């Protein structure tokens, strides 16, 4: 819901540097069923849902939230220089005395994408960069970053919008949401176009489709990775969750599609896809290896090493290339194969792709995706963003295949999110590791003790005799975990990935798992390389002040 304030450490909303000038009178004529106030001669330069992000000259779209109506902030919008309020009939009554023209529409949330596309000139018929949108439970972020990396190897100025970051021709901004609100998304596309970006990779969550955050956008190529248990805090069941993703494969959302057959739902995506499509499969990891082997394109694993995974991508017509994705895991090779085929479907020539990749490696940085933060000696420590049972299973298996010694799993679970997957998370974590360390993640407003207890319960049901430790906070957990391992062993710290905060009772507390792991390794006497990621809030990365908890080294 719109608010009149926002945490100061939230990343900024991006806008075009040369904002458009649009007639408020024309906007009213196109979209409003009723206008209250004078719109003649007025112009606007943008549109937003949140007064916290509003800039002078923009229209404020006021929608009804769970507890309050955004129109209650009409006075705040007026004070910040808004030129108009766009809202529904009830919102118009609330905003009546704000002193601004009010444009009444039936469904302001549902209309936001179309409004934003018109304001910023980013609709399907406007000149835009090539758009690649990826959905699925796991792999969306990885595919998006791989797309960007390969585009860079092709010499193509690119943009990115993912869970981790927004990129605009090399400029990096930390992300707020997996997929931004429609108004922000269209403003971002306008800025990318302004800066000469030729192709954009966008991570498209199910929530983005359900909440209409990508309305008004038609992707040139849509990709589907997989579907597994997740997000049942937002959807009633797996069927509803699956149905939420299908709109991306309709003509009003995409022109072409690339669909992975590695998970069983891929076949149904194929059956219900309403745009031209091709399929890709990885028999080594697929739920149905025969179905994956019958795909238009197949990914075959050549070798798995700590520095990356080598694979061969082969088409039915015999075209083939062999390359390396710079992270461990067969699932990462599958993500890379999907990305390459998406680029091919987007119009990049096979010869050009093969020249850049065949016999070499993909030059991509995947923040927090099975990211090795340790040095050449000592235990290998990986930090990963995956936080679902399926992600744990695949990533632990990948770590196991490149680890001669013991594998230790460190993880926690989100508070105030899908609690139905916690037993499965605990089960998968303990089944795939030699030692299981349970700690905290984002407790939000939930009791972290209760979250940990549920994870341990799921683990104990699966392996009553397993070695399980419980340490809180995570700053202590990683120190203790590193005390359990030696040269040749590995730790997978799953969940935090690239994030630089923990959500504790609504407060974004500075925190970096990658940096905490490095410090703990150094304190244990192991060499660590210099980080190639930003180190946020370095002086604040300390454990809670509880005297029972050891001071962080």
Q: How far apart are CA 372 and CA 255, in angstroms?
A: 37
Q: Which residues contact 453 (CB under 8 A, 6 or more apart)?
A: none
For position 96, what pLDDT does the model report? 95
Q: State how far Cα 323 lies from the chain centre.
A: 25
Q: C-alpha distances in angstroms, 411 versus 205, 220, 422, 479?
A: 23, 37, 11, 13
Q: How far apart are CA 496 and CA 54, in angstroms?
A: 31
List b or e across 234-253, with b for residues whose CB sees 16 or more CB atoms inside 10 angstroms: bbeebeebbebbbbbbeeeb
| Boundaries of every domain in the chain | 22-120, 130-357, 371-540
* Eight-class DSSP state of 293: H
Residue from 123, 121, 129 nearest 20 by CA: 121
Q: What are phi and psi of 34, to 5 degrees?
A: -155, 145
Q: State how far Cα 523 lies from the chain centre.
A: 32
* Eight-class DSSP state of 64: B
For position 252, what pLDDT does the model report? 95
Structure-token pair, residue 79: 């004070």
For position 119, what pLDDT does the model report? 96
For position 152, what pLDDT does the model report? 96
SS3 content of the chain, % helix, strand, coil (to 5): 35, 20, 45
Do the beta carbons of residue 55 and residue 78 sit within 8 Å? Answer: no
Q: What are phi and psi of 182, to 5 degrees?
A: -55, -40
Largest CA distance in the chain: 75
For position 125, what pLDDT does the model report? 81
Q: Map residue 494 onto helix, strand or coil.
A: strand
- The helix or strand, by DSSP H or E, that contains position 43, with its residue range, turns out to be strand 43-44
What radius of gyration, in Å, describes the C-alpha atoms of the chain? 24
For position 538, what pLDDT does the model report? 42
Give the count of beta carbons closer than 10 Å to the beta carbon of residue 553: 10
Structure-token pair, residue 129: 């960069």
Residue from 95, 89, 19 nearest 58 by CA: 19
CATH no. for 371-540: 3.90.190.20
Do the beta carbons of residue 511 and residue 502 sit within 8 Å? Answer: yes
For position 369, what pLDDT does the model report? 83
For position 66, what pLDDT does the model report? 84
The CA-based angle 202-388-298, given to 5 degrees, is 60
Structure-token pair, residue 277: 């499509």
Give the count of beta carbons closer than 10 Å to the beta carbon of residue 334: 30
Q: Measured between alpha carbons, how far apart are the two ends of the chain, in Å? A: 41
Q: Which residues contact 416 (CB under 8 A, 6 or more apart)?
A: 233, 444, 445, 446
Length of the chain: 553
Yes or no: domain 130-357 corresponds to CATH 3.40.1190.10? yes
For position 535, what pLDDT does the model report? 55
For position 386, what pLDDT does the model report? 84
Residue from 71, 66, 68, 49 nearest 58 by CA: 49
Q: How far apart are CA 376 and CA 128, in angstroms?
A: 45
For position 234, what pLDDT does the model report? 72
Q: C-alpha distances in angstroms, 318 versus 312, 352, 439?
A: 12, 17, 49
CATH architecture for the domain at 22-120 = 3-Layer(aba) Sandwich (3.40)
Residue from 485, 481, 429 nearest 452 by CA: 429
For position 16, what pLDDT does the model report? 93
Residue from 59, 50, 49, 52 nearest 19 by CA: 59
List b or e across 502-528, with b for residues whose CB sees 16 or more CB atoms inside 10 angstroms: bbbeeebeebbbbbbbbbbbeeeebeb
pLDDT in tens, the chain (553 residues): 333 334 444 556 788 999 899 999 999 999 999 999 999 999 999 999 999 889 999 999 999 988 899 999 999 999 999 999 999 999 999 999 999 999 999 999 999 999 999 999 998 888 899 999 999 988 899 999 999 999 999 999 999 998 767 889 878 776 555 467 899 999 999 999 999 999 999 999 998 999 899 999 999 999 999 998 765 667 788 889 899 999 999 999 999 999 999 999 999 999 999 999 999 999 999 999 999 999 999 999 999 998 899 999 999 999 999 999 999 999 999 999 999 999 999 999 999 999 999 999 999 988 888 889 999 999 999 999 888 898 899 899 999 999 999 999 999 999 998 899 999 999 999 999 999 999 999 999 999 999 999 999 999 999 999 999 999 999 999 999 999 999 999 999 998 887 888 999 989 888 899 999 999 999 999 999 988 655 544 444 444 433 333 332 2
């Amino acid at each position: 819901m719109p608010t009149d304030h926002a945490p100061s450490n939230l990343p900024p909303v991006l806008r075009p540097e040369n904002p458009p000038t649009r007639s408020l009178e024309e906007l009213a004529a196109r979209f409003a069923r009723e206008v209250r106030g004078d719109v003649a001669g007025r112009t606007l330069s943008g549109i937003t849902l949140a007064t916290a992000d509003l800039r002078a000259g923009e229209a404020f779209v006021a929608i009804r939230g769970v507890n309050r109506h955004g129109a209650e902030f009409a006075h705040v919008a007026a004070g910040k220089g808004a030129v108009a309020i766009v809202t529904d009939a009830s919102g118009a009554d609330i905003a009546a005395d704000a002193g601004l023209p009010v444009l009444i529409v039936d469904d302001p949330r549902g209309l936001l994408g179309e409004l934003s596309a018109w304001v910023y000139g980013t609709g399907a018929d406007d000149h835009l960069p090539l758009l690649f949108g990826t959905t699925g439970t796991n792999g969306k972020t990885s595919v998006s970053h791989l797309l960007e990396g390969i585009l860079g190897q092709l010499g193509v100025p690119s943009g990115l919008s993912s869970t981790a970051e927004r990129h605009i021709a090399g400029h990096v901004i930390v992300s707020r949401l997996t997929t931004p609100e429609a108004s922000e998304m269209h403003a971002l596309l306008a800025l990318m176009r302004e800066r000469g970006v030729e192709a954009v990779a966008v991570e498209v969550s199910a929530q983005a489709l359900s909440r209409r955050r990508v309305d008004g956008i038609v992707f040139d190529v849509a990709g589907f990775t997989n579907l597994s248990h997740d997000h049942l805090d937002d959807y009633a069941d797996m069927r509803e969750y699956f149905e939420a993703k299908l709109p991306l494969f309709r003509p009003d959302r995409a022109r072409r599609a690339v669909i992975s057959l590695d998970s069983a739902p891929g076949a149904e995506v194929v059956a219900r896809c309403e745009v031209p499509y091709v399929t890709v499969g990885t028999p080594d990891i697929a739920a149905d290896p025969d179905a994956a082997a019958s795909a238009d394109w197949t990914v075959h694993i050549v070798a798995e090493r700590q520095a990356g995974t080598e694979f061969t991508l082969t088409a039915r017509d015999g075209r083939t290339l062999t390359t390396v994705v710079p992270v461990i895991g067969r699932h990462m090779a599958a993500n890379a194969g999907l990305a390459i085929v998406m680029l091919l479907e987007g119009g990049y020539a096979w010869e050009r792709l093969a020249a850049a990749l065949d016999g070499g490696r993909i030059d991509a940085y995947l923040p927090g995706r099975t990211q090795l933060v340790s040095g050449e000696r000592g235990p290998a420590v990986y930090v990963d963003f995956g936080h679902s049972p399926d992600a744990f299973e695949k990533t632990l298996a990948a770590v196991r295949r490149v680890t001669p010694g013991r594998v230790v799993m460190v993880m926690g679970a989100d508070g105030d999110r899908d609690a139905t997957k916690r037993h499965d998370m605990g089960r998968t974590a303990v089944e795939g590791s030699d030692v299981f360390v349970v700690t905290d993640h984002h407790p939000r407003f939930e009791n972290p003790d209760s979250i940990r207890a549920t994870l341990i319960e799921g683990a104990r049901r699966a392996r009553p005799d397993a070695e399980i430790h419980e340490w809180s906070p995570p700053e202590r957990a990683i120190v203790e975990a590193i005390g359990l391992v030696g040269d040749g062993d590995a730790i997978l710290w799953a969940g935090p990935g690239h994030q630089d905060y923990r959500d504790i009772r609504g407060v974004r507390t500075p925190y970096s798992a990658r940096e905490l792991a490095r410090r703990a390794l150094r304190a244990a006497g192991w060499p660590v390389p210099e980080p190639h990621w930003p180190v946020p809030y370095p002086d604040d990365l300390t454990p809670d002040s509880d005297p029972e908890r050891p001071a962080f080294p």
